[in-house]
């Protein structure tokens, strides 16, 4: 079963942390992006994570519907079906659900998982992300505790965010975030561990200067040692540490990626880079076949080049090539646990 069971998923996360690698996590919006991701993971012999954001779910539900939860269900069910054709494990996750979207997005997805479990299947998603980072810390942790209880009842992992990832993604603009919120403190990491560890399985997106989007070299100042310092505080008091997540991974320097992994990062979100990898070959196709794409001056065009399957397949391949690079960068290449757990 290439979409792992919850027991297999926990084993994936713990193995990545103990062996020093991380999983590429890609946001998907269409079947072409899903197929590109599956193709990449299989080619790299790397397990991976496919995730759906609110915007991605709304897009997948169609412009006449724009129901984020419905679209997420459609995409997740497609992954469950298509992943059966591959010999790697591909987990399902949702990305950045803000506090004011819990009732319209997270809870309907948890309800969908309840129905799947009642029918003898696993949950729809292996994990979900609650991003309550716009709330004061006390309120963030209070909501995180409540949602972790609801997820844990279904065996689902919860990812939370402490601090703010800068930049703009999926319609949420944090480009004006205060500088201090871009760097999670060790004290906040300790508070998070103490609040959540007794309740269930969780991951922490601690911020260390990471920003959504890509920028020219030098524009973003990452401080991975923040993760080290936070982990040390937890280790000193509890002889334990946390599973960490790297948001805003697109365009990051390889040295920063590898350093973050060494401090317990087991998942890196890659969205902007894969969007470009999908769009670039499509744009080149359009530019190189403009006469065939458009019926200019009364001509009939060329069906072979304006058939959407032609250029969408190129986008799928672009995604696959970029994610194979990601698997190499994150050291997950060749380390699939398929058939081993």
d(Cα 28, Cα 170) in Å, to the nearest integer? 12
Rounded to the nearest 10°, the torsion over CA 22, 188, 134, 223 is: -50
Q: Is 18 exposed, middle or buried (0-12, 13-18, 19+ CB in 10 A)?
A: exposed
Task: Give the residue ranges of DSSP H helices in the chain.
Answer: 6-19, 31-44, 54-60, 68-82, 107-118, 137-152, 186-196, 225-238, 254-262, 272-288, 290-293, 303-306, 308-329
Q: Give the pair of three-digit tokens for residue 197.
A: 């560890």
Question: What whole-number distance in Å separates Cα of residue 85 and Cα of residue 24?
Answer: 19
95 is catalytic: yes
| Nearest residue to 52 via CA among 84, 70, 76 | 76
Return d(Cα 296, Cα 4) in angstroms, integer.
50
Q: Are 249 and 213 in contact (CB under 8 A)?
A: no
Instruction: Count the helices and strands in the chain (H runs, E runs).
Output: 13, 11
Round to the nearest angstrom and report the end-to-end CA distance of the chain. Answer: 11
Q: Which two tokens stand for residue 182?
A: 């871009």
Specify whether the CB–CB gap between 162 and 188 falls below 8 A: yes
Nearest to 76 by CA among 102, 50, 43: 50
Of 198, 218, 220, 199, give the one whose Cα is nearest residue 210. Answer: 220
Of 95, 131, 271, 273, catalytic: 95
Q: Could you give the residue numbers annotated as active site?
A: 95
């Amino acid at each position: 079963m290439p979409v792992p069971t919850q027991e297999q998923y926990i084993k994936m996360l713990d193995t990545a942390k103990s062996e020093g690698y991380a999983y590429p996590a890609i946001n998907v919006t269409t079947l072409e992006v899903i197929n590109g991701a599956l193709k990449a993971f299989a080619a790299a012999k790397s397990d991976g994570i496919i995730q759906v954001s609110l915007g991605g779910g709304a897009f997948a539900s169609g412009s006449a519907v724009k129901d984020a939860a419905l679209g997420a269900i459609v995409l997740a069910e497609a992954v469950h079906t298509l992943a059966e054709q591959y010999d790697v494990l591909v987990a399902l996750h949702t990305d950045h659900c803000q506090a004011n979207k819990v009732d319209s997005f997270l809870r309907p997805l948890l309800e969908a998982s309840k129905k799947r479990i009642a029918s003898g299947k696993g949950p729809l998603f292996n994990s979900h992300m609650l991003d309550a980072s716009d709330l004061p810390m006390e309120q963030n942790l209070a909501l995180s505790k409540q949602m972790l209880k609801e997820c844990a009842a279904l065996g689902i992992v919860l990812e939370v965010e402490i601090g703010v990832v800068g930049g703009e993604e999926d319609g949420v603009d944090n480009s004006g975030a205060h500088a201090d919120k871009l760097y999670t403190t060790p004290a906040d990491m300790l508070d998070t561990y103490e609040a959540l560890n007794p309740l269930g399985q969780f991951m922490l997106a601690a911020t260390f200067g990471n920003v959504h989007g890509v920028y020219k070299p030098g524009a973003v100042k990452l401080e991975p040692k923040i993760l080290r310092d936070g982990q040390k505080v937890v280790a000193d008091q509890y002889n334990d540490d946390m599973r960490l997540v790297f948001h805003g991974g697109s365009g990051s320097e390889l040295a920063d990626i590898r350093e973050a992994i060494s401090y317990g990062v087991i998942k890196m979100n890659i969205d902007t880079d894969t969007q470009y990898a999908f769009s670039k070959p499509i744009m080149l196709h359009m530019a190189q076949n403009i006469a065939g794409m458009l019926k200019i001056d009364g001509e009939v065009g060329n069906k072979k080049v304006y058939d959407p399957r032609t250029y969408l397949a190129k986008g799928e391949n672009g995604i696959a090539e970029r994610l194979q690079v990601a698997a190499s960068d994150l050291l997950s290449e060749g380390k699939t646990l398929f058939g081993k757990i």
